[in-house]
Structure 1
Amino acid sequence: MAELRRDAGLTGRALAARCGWHASKISRIEHAVTPPSEDDIQLWAANCGADDQIPDLVASLRTVEGMWIEWRRMERTGLRRAQEARLPLYERTRNFRSYSSWLVPGMIQTPGYTEAALRAVQRRRGLVDDVEQAVAARIARQRMLYEGDHRFAFLIEESVLRSGIGGAAVMAAQLHHLITIATLPNVSVGVVPMRPDRSRWPVEGFWLFDAAQVNVELVSGYLTITQPREVEMYVQAFGELAALALYGAAARVLMEAALP
């Protein structure tokens, strides 16, 4: 946006006058304090003599807006639809990679663990109580573990095995389920052990969908990353964490040791 103004030979005040805005609005947009609306973009470009760039600028805005969704927006009608909305992405993905530093990933959760996790979310955020339906939607998605040509690589921090949710019985069932899931031919489950001399520290949990998209769940919202350079950073992080993980019999030892 600033480049358009400078290419047109306009100061911020001159462009603001042409657009009928206060001069501070130009500064807020250029310094990413206030995101522009589609109308703002169209008016800005038109007054800079760059009408031909409006479609590309609007498309870029929509891409940026789609990267970040607040939980309150995604879950405004409840948790069930938020779960169902992700199904098309899962169905078209062939190579799944998931790293979790705080919860067992949804695709390998038991119904009891899922219910405990989603119930905690529903209560904390004051959402409509459709937890039962949301649990059913998430568990139904797990059919892809057994159907088609999907491949899954899960990395879990050892602390996830020991930091429970739902109580001892729920965690015991979940750990036994992990042991079983790890034997599937298209599934890899790695546990990153707790140790004092790690070369790669834990990071935020994330999902890699093929090499096209990364999703990150943060406290305030859901982040979607599609920029190739940024996706590659997560691919690299996954590789580094995978190199630290234990698999097979060694991972099973950690899972059994964590049983309550």
Structure 2
Amino acid sequence: MTPPGITRSNGTTLPKNKASGSTNVHEARTALGKRLREARQVAGLNGRQLAESLSWPPSKVSKLENGRQTPTDDDIRAWTDATHTQDETDALLASLHTLEVQYAEWQRIFRTGLKPRQRQHLEWDQKTRFIRAFEASLIPGLLQTAEYARFRFADGIRRLKLPNDLDDVVALRVKRQEILYRPDKRFHFVLTEAALRYRLCPTEVMIGQLDRLLSLSQLPNVRLGIIAFETQYDTAPKHGFWIYDEERVLIETVSAALDLRQPQEVELYANTFEQLAAVASYGRSARKIINRVIGDIAPEDESGDSG
């Protein structure tokens, strides 16, 4: 069911077709409202009393508590001051900021093409000192060859019916990878063996991609782990995700990007990453797995000699 229209803090309301189509966002706004209600109730105030103490119309308290209006930072601070729950201010603000940025549909992100998103990634890369990434089904963008990236971007352009800026966006992807050679940056990638084997491009392109992984695995600031098929997992590899320092987690779904910034969510993903990383193979063992995959998918007779 489509969530109701969203009331901005200035009192205007977005119509339903302009409001976020994400049930997750609607639920997050409702959850934030419940936390505000709990703070009011613990303080022993009814809605009208709280509104009067803040010089607000009573309807504003009701809208905030029922998720029909998104609070501002000042609203949160005023609420916790009035309910003597200042120790909850930072957590509530974190929830608000996550709500504001956590869900963005691809059609909105990519309305002018793929290039702006790649530029945004480039900015994130520059600001981040330690990047951790787990991927279960494809090669992470920072490790992709230009040829592999071209097939992945072409798929997105076709599937989402986006403006075609393929050449430019591939060039930006390659430019992003310059960061791998900066000594002040650290990278830890964990991939499943399945990500090495999925045929998301022609065989010759995939072999070149795997050869690229062999080279990058030997960079001093890059740690590459591969989880082989025979490995027993302690935690399920449900989906790919990227962790930027201890600040944010980026998750890409079929329809949207999730940008999570609440400390408890970042910590949860960091712990999940560590559990996945703990069962991965590294160094020579990881390269052995990659070479095994190359041997399995390479043409049986590359020389053309049938004898």
**TM tier, smaller:** 0.7 to 0.9
Moved more, 194-203 or 226-235: 194-203
For these two proteins, the number of residue pairs brought into alignment is: 246
Q: 1:145, 1:196 → 2: CA distance?
A: 28
Q: 2:208, 2:169 → 1: CA distance?
A: 20
Aligned partner of 2:251 in structure 1 is: 216
- Aligned with residue 36 of structure 1, among 70, 74, 86: 70
Question: Could you tell me how far 1:2 is from its partner in structure 2?
Answer: 2.9
Q: 1:218, 1:108 → 2: CA distance?
A: 20
CA contact (8 A) 2:64 2:71 kept: no
Scaled by the length of structure 1, what TM-score is found? 0.81
1:156 aligns with 2:191: yes
Query: What are the residue-to-residue correspondences of 1:61-140 with 2, within 5 Å?
Result: 61-140=96-175
Q: Any unmatched runs of 5+ in structure 2?
A: 1-35, 52-56, 298-307
The SS at the match of 2:174 is: helix
Question: Could you tell me how far 1:86 is from its partner in structure 2?
Answer: 1.9
Q: Any unmatched runs of 5+ in structure 1?
A: none
Aligned partner of 2:180 in structure 1 is: 145
Question: Could you tell me how far 1:148 is from its partner in structure 2?
Answer: 4.0
Q: 1:4, 1:238 → 2: CA distance?
A: 34
Letter of the 1:251 partner, please give it: A
CA contact (8 A) 2:234 2:276 kept: no
Scaled by the length of structure 2, what TM-score is found? 0.70
**CA deviation profile, 1:129-184 (whole Å, cap 9, x unmatched):** 01111111111010001124111111001100011211111111100000111011
Aligned partner of 2:219 in structure 1 is: 184
Q: 2:267, 2:97 → 1: CA distance?
A: 22
Q: 1:63, 1:106 → 2: CA distance?
A: 24
The SS at the match of 1:235 is: helix
Query: What are the residue-to-residue correspondences of 1:187-202 with 2, within 5 Å?
Result: 187-195=222-230, 197-202=232-237
The SS at the match of 1:258 is: helix
CA contact (8 A) 2:113 2:165 kept: yes
Aligned partner of 2:268 in structure 1 is: 233
**CA deviation profile, 1:79-129 (whole Å, cap 9, x unmatched):** 011110122211011111111011100000000110000100010000000
Letter of the 1:98 partner, please give it: A
The SS at the match of 2:249 is: strand
Percent identical among aligned pairs is 34
Question: Could you tell me how far 1:36 is from its partner in structure 2?
Answer: 3.4
Question: Could you tell me how far 1:243 is from its partner in structure 2?
Answer: 0.9
Q: 2:137, 2:145 → 1: CA distance?
A: 16
Q: 1:58, 1:160 → 2: CA distance?
A: 37
Question: Could you tell me how far 1:63 is from its partner in structure 2?
Answer: 4.3
